[in-house]
């Protein structure tokens, strides 16, 4: 194995250092400067024991003052803060899902948004009892979208997607009272419970955190994934590239950033319009180069092979190259610092959603009726901006890696179908995968997901953990910014099989897959939930018995806390490399680590050392194997 084929974290850091020097020269600040200015960070906040829920506060818990003015103790305060994080995360993911439902509802045969995967639409229509025979596909789409939208506010019943889970999960969720009702209701209940004068019992707060998280993963996020596939196509494996080296000095560089692909799809389409490519050439550029950041990158790379410029903590670095004509953003994970930073360069900063209004940006609202023209207008404006580049400010990052992306559940099954003739009778199942795990060729699977966090070396934990897992014959699936860390390191290209143990290497060769499978954006962790449940159904085991775990080594967002809650509700342990902000309450720490495991079979395992964390994962997987007798 030639390590020169891969990019090390040290090499990534070297590039980041060069770009940081550019920032200093341009008089711009970056997250590193602001982190320094914020250090030391507030201990009360870090431990989750500062309450400012009512104006009698803020109240902070100390040994001398163990209760807030109303009498709330550390457990109540940390528990309420924690539940509010879950509510925030669920709101963000689910509102993204709702927007996509509205986009689906706005599809027309001659409109800007059309149905790209009618087969998936029909499957969902059948699942939901929507009449399909003899009906126009767009009529069906509108009815499905309406039913999806009703899941947000229906007065009775629980989420429709729950019926996709194993029987044992469905039963357990109902028995525990964590089967989510309407999505908005669970968010409202979380906010109501944590209002001054309501729930002060940590156990009840954690239970509602599970239920609210479930409204995300088995509600809003799953809605986002399903409707996006119907609208823009279900991902299939395709080749792309990752890291800042994908920016091209000779091209008009446009970056799309955020989460909801409705805007970025229009920019990608416009960038392929012949007249705009000609226009770019007339301005001295060789063409138009659309690249992505964060989860918008994941969405458009999975469906178009758009190159991935990088992840969360690289958003400023992209602009520091001086080569970005435009950064167009939709929602979530966008640094407000992009405003002042882009003004130090020629970069146009475009915000497009009323959900993410940011100073020092140009606001161009996107609507289904005008989306295609708006996309073209933005691409044209980026081309016009090409001439305004300052050659003295240009820095060309050289590093990039090839990556294979787009492993939806449908794509994984298709790949498995191609494995061997002996499975000809069970095509369309995960049986080959299950057999590999049973035989020990694969020891298990880990989903590595989530953000970067300045509390740790960017990307280091993601990459170290992935390398150690694949070396130990544990297959990795990944989403979000973790996927981009993998892409930058070269772990999502088929050649990464050289870093694997003998068993996983053989599987990669046989199936023709990389050892780290890209499953999409943050909302697509819902795909992983379906994968887990379908594998367990076909195997005939409970979800908490499966030798598979989740890991968010560098998480930072409220969405990550929501995700972690639906994953443990699904019976899967979640390994965290950043401590949740509840340390000021021993009871809360106990509840999120051991307490939930007693209820659902899944809990958090927390360790800030990635090497210790990965060893715990391997041990956890081996323990599950032993319990299954395999
Ligand atoms: Fe203080 Fe209680 Fe008000 Fe929180 S709810 S700020 S602990 S008085
Ligand atoms: S974009 S939520 S930083 S993974 Fe989904 Fe990345 Fe985390 Fe945002």
Q: Is residue 207 part of a domain?
A: yes
Ligand 2 pocket: which of 86, 451, 520 to mutate (most atoms <8 Å of CB)? 451
* CA–centroid distance, residue 198 to ligand 1 (Å): 11
**CB-defined site of ligand 1, < 6 Å:** 51-54, 56-59, 68-70, 72, 77, 196
How high is the pLDDT of residue 105? Answer: 98
Same domain, 79 and 158: yes
Same domain, 499 and 435: yes
Q: Is 123:139 a contact under the CB 8 Å cutoff?
A: no
Same domain, 463 and 534: yes
Phi, psi of 283 (to 5 degrees): -95, 5
Q: Whose CA is nearest to atom 7 of ligand 2?
A: 451
Ligand 2 pocket: which of 217, 481, 526, 562 to mutate (most atoms <8 Å of CB)? 481
**Cβ neighbours of residue 368 under 8 Å, at least 6 residues apart?**
102, 103, 106, 107, 111, 112, 113, 262
Given a cut of 90, whether residue 196 has pLDDT beyond it is: yes
| Beta-carbon-side half-sphere exposure of residue 217 (alpha carbons within 13 Å) | 32
Per-residue b/e over 57-83, b at no fewer than 16 CB within 10 Å? bebbbeeeeeebeeebbbbbbbbbbbb
DSSP string, 369-408: TTHHHHHHHHHHHHHHHGGG--GGG-------EEEEE---
Answer whether 564 contacts ligand 2 (Cβ < 6 A).
no
**Per residue in 217-234, pLDDT tens?**
999 999 999 999 999 999
Instruction: Place 427 in a pLDDT band, splitting at 50, 70 and 90.
Output: low
- The domain in which residue 319 lies consists of 244-393
How high is the pLDDT of residue 220? Answer: 98
Q: Is 473:501 a contact under the CB 8 Å cutoff?
A: yes
Ligand number with the minimum distance to the CA of 561: 2
Q: Is residue 457 part of a domain?
A: yes
Q: Is residue 28 part of a domain?
A: no
Which of 3-7, 34-38, 278-282, 526-530 has the least mean pLDDT? 3-7
DSSP string, 468-500: HHHHTTEEEEEEHHHHHHHHHHTTTSGGGGGGS
Given a cut of 60, whether residue 424 has pLDDT beyond it is: no
What CATH number is attached to the domain comprising 556? 3.40.50.2030
Answer whether 294 contacts ligand 2 (Cβ < 6 A).
yes
Given a cut of 80, whether residue 2 has pLDDT beyond it is: no
Task: Please give the number of the atom of ligand 2 that sits closest to the Cα of 479.
Answer: 4
- Give bridge partners of residue 477 from the DSSP assignment: 447, 517
What is the torsion angle, in degrees rounded to the nearest 10, for the CA atoms of residue 261, residue 262, residue 264 and residue 266? Answer: 150
Ligand number with the minimum distance to the CA of 198: 1
Q: Is residue 199 part of a domain?
A: yes
Same domain, 545 and 488: yes
Q: Whose CA is nearest to atom 8 of ligand 2?
A: 333
Cα–Cα distance between 572 and 550 in angstroms, integer? Answer: 7
Q: Whose CA is nearest to atom 5 of ligand 1?
A: 196
Task: Please give the number of the atom of ligand 2 that sits closest to the Cα of 556.
Answer: 7
* CA–centroid distance, residue 315 to ligand 2 (Å): 12
**Per residue in 568-586, pLDDT tens?**
999 999 999 999 999 999 9
Cα–Cα distance between 220 and 99 in angstroms, integer? Answer: 10
Among the listed residues 412, 408, 401, the one whose alpha carbon sits nearest the alpha carbon of residue 496: 401
Same domain, 159 and 255: no
Same domain, 301 and 378: yes
Q: Is residue 610 part of a domain?
A: yes
Question: For 288-295, what is the mean pLDDT?
Answer: 98
* CA–centroid distance, residue 594 to ligand 2 (Å): 27
How high is the pLDDT of residue 418? Answer: 77
Task: Please give the number of the atom of ligand 2 that sits closest to the Cα of 450.
Answer: 4
Cα–Cα distance between 122 and 594 in angstroms, integer? Answer: 42
Per the listing, tokens 């670095």 go with 317
Answer whether 79 contacts ligand 2 (Cβ < 6 A).
no
Answer whether 308 contacts ligand 2 (Cβ < 6 A).
no
Ligand number with the minimum distance to the CA of 314: 2
Ligand number with the minimum distance to the CA of 79: 1
Cα–Cα distance between 374 and 477 in angstroms, integer? Answer: 35
Q: Whose CA is nearest to atom 6 of ligand 1?
A: 57
Maximum Cα–Cα distance for the chain, whole Å? 72
Return the SS3 of 581.
coil
Instruction: Place 428 in a pLDDT band, splitting at 50, 70 and 90.
Output: confident
Given a cut of 80, whether residue 426 has pLDDT beyond it is: no
Last residue of a domain, one of 338, 358, 393: 393
DSSP single-letter state for residue 218: I
Same domain, 414 and 521: yes
* CA–centroid distance, residue 575 to ligand 2 (Å): 17
Same domain, 307 and 187: no
Given a cut of 90, whether residue 300 has pLDDT beyond it is: yes
How high is the pLDDT of residue 431? Answer: 92
Q: Is 330:260 a contact under the CB 8 Å cutoff?
A: yes
High-pLDDT (> 70) share of the chain, % = 98
Task: Please give the number of the atom of ligand 2 that sits closest to the Cα of 452.
Answer: 3
Strands 516-520 and 307-310: unpaired
Last residue of a domain, one of 179, 198, 232: 232
CA distances for 47 relative to 59, 117, 199, 309, 329, angstroms: 13, 46, 19, 34, 33
Same domain, 386 and 410: no
Question: For 501-516, what is the mean pLDDT?
Answer: 97
Cα–Cα distance between 236 and 248 in angstroms, integer? Answer: 26
Cα–Cα distance between 511 and 520 in angstroms, integer? Answer: 20
Q: Is residue 298 part of a domain?
A: yes
What CATH number is attached to the domain comprising 227? 1.20.1270.30
Q: Whose CA is nearest to atom 7 of ligand 1?
A: 68
Question: For 180-187, what is the mean pLDDT?
Answer: 98
Cα–Cα distance between 168 and 423 in angstroms, integer? Answer: 27
Q: What is the mean pLDDT of the chain?
A: 97
Structure tokens at 283: 């301005």
* CA–centroid distance, residue 332 to ligand 2 (Å): 8
Q: Whose CA is nearest to atom 4 of ligand 1?
A: 51
Ligand number with the minimum distance to the CA of 578: 2
Structure tokens at 192: 């109501």
> Beta-strand (E) ranges in 17-102?
50-51, 59-60
Cα–Cα distance between 383 and 220 in angstroms, integer? Answer: 36
Given a cut of 60, whether residue 421 has pLDDT beyond it is: no
* CA–centroid distance, residue 594 to ligand 1 (Å): 28
Same domain, 384 and 302: yes
**Per residue in 545-555, pLDDT tens?**
999 999 999 99
Same domain, 538 and 470: yes
Ligand number with the minimum distance to the CA of 58: 1
CB atoms within 10 A of CB 510: 14
Q: Is residue 320 part of a domain?
A: yes
* CA–centroid distance, residue 562 to ligand 1 (Å): 24
Task: Please give the number of the atom of ligand 1 that sits closest to the Cα of 71.
Answer: 2
Question: For 196-210, what is the mean pLDDT?
Answer: 98
Return the SS3 of 606.
strand
Taking only Cα atoms into account, the Rg of the chain, rounded to an integer number of angstroms, comes to 24
* CA–centroid distance, residue 68 to ligand 1 (Å): 5
How high is the pLDDT of residue 492? Answer: 98
Q: Is residue 51 part of a domain?
A: no
* CA–centroid distance, residue 583 to ligand 1 (Å): 19
Count of domains for the chain:
3
Given a cut of 80, whether residue 420 has pLDDT beyond it is: no
* CA–centroid distance, residue 44 to ligand 1 (Å): 14
Same domain, 368 and 295: yes
3-state secondary structure 161-190: HHHHCCHHHHHHHHHHCCCCCCHHHHHHHH
Last residue of a domain, one of 232, 257, 275: 232
Structure tokens at 89: 């995360």
Ligand number with the minimum distance to the CA of 76: 1
Q: Whose CA is nearest to atom 3 of ligand 1?
A: 54
**Per residue in 320-360, pLDDT tens?**
999 999 999 999 999 999 999 999 999 999 999 999 999 99
* CA–centroid distance, residue 41 to ligand 2 (Å): 22
Ligand number with the minimum distance to the CA of 557: 2
| Beta-carbon-side half-sphere exposure of residue 525 (alpha carbons within 13 Å) | 40
Given a cut of 90, whether residue 467 has pLDDT beyond it is: yes
**Per residue in 165-177, pLDDT tens?**
999 999 999 999 9
Q: Whose CA is nearest to atom 3 of ligand 2?
A: 451
């Amino acid at each position: 194995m030639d390590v020169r084929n891969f990019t090390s974290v040290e090499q990534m850091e070297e590039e980041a250092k060069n770009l940081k020097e550019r920032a200093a020269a341009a008089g711009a600040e970056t997250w590193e400067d602001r982190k320094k200015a914020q250090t030391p960070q507030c201990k009360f906040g870090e431990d989750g024991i500062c309450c400012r829920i009512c104006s009698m506060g803020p109240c902070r818990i100390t040994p001398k003052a163990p209760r807030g003015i109303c009498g709330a103790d550390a457990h109540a305060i940390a528990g309420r803060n924690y539940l509010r994080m879950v509510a925030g995360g669920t709101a963000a993911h689910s509102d993204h899902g709702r927007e996509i439902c509205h986009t689906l509802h706005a599809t027309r045969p001659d409109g800007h948004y059309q149905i790209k995967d009618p087969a998936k639409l029909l499957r969902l229509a059948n699942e939901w009892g929507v009449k399909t025979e003899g009906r126009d596909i767009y009529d069906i789409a509108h009815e499905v979208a309406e039913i999806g939208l009703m899941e947000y506010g229906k007065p009775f019943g629980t989420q429709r997607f729950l019926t996709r889970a194993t029987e044992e999960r469905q039963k357990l969720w109902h028995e525990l009272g964590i089967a989510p009702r309407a999505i908005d209701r669970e968010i409202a209940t979380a906010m109501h419970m944590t209002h001054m004068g309501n729930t002060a019992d940590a156990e009840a707060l954690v239970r509602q955190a599970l239920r609210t998280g479930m409204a995300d993963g088995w509600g809003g996020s799953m809605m986002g994934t399903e409707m996006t596939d119907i609208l823009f196509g279900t991902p299939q494996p395709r080749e792309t590239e990752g890291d800042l080296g994908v920016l091209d000095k000779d091209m008009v560089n446009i970056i799309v950033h955020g989460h909801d692909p409705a805007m970025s799809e229009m920019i990608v389409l416009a960038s392929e319009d012949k007249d705009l490519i000609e226009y770019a050439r007339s301005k001295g550029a060789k063409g138009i180069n659309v690249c992505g950041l964060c989860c918008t990158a994941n969405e458009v790379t999975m469906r178009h092979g758009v190159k991935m410029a990088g992840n969360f903590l690289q958003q400023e670095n992209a602009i520091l190259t001086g080569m970005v004509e435009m950064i167009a953003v939709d929602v979530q994970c966008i640094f407000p610092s992009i405003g002042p930073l882009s003004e130090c360069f020629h970069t146009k900063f475009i915000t497009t959603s009323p959900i993410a209004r940011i100073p020092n940006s140009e606001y161009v609202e996107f609507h289904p009726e005008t989306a295609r023209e708006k996309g073209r207008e933005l691409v044209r404006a980026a081309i016009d901006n090409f001439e305004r580049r300052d050659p003295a400010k240009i820095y060309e990052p050289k590093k990039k890696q090839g990556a294979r992306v787009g492993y939806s559940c449908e794509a994984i099954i298709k790949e498995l179908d191609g494995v061997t003739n002996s499975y000809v009778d069970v095509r369309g199942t995960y049986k080959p995968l299950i057999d590999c795990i049973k035989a020990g060729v694969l020891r298990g699977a880990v989903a590595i997901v989530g953000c970067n966090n300045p509390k740790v070396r960017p990307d280091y934990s993601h990459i170290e953990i992935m390398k150690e897992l694949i070396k130990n014959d544990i297959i990795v699936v990944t989403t979000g910014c973790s996927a981009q860390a993998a892409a930058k390191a070269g772990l999502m290209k088929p050649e990464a099989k050289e870093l694997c143990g003998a068993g996983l290497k053989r599987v990669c060769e046989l199936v023709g897959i990389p050892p780290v499978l890209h499953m999409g954006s943050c909302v697509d962790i819902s795909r992983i939930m379906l994968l887990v449940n379908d594998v367990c159904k076909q195997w005939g085991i409970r979800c908490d018995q499966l030798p598979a775990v989740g890991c968010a080594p560098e998480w930072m967002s409220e969405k990550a806390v929501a995700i972690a809650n639906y994953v443990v509700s699904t019976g899967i342990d979640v390994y965290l490399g950043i401590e949740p902000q509840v340390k000021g309450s021993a009871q809360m720490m106990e509840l999120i680590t051991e307490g939930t495991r007693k209820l659902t079979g899944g809990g958090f395992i927390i360790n800030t050392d990635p090497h210790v964390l990965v060893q715990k994962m391997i041990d956890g997987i081996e323990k599950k194997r032993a319990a299954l007798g395999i």
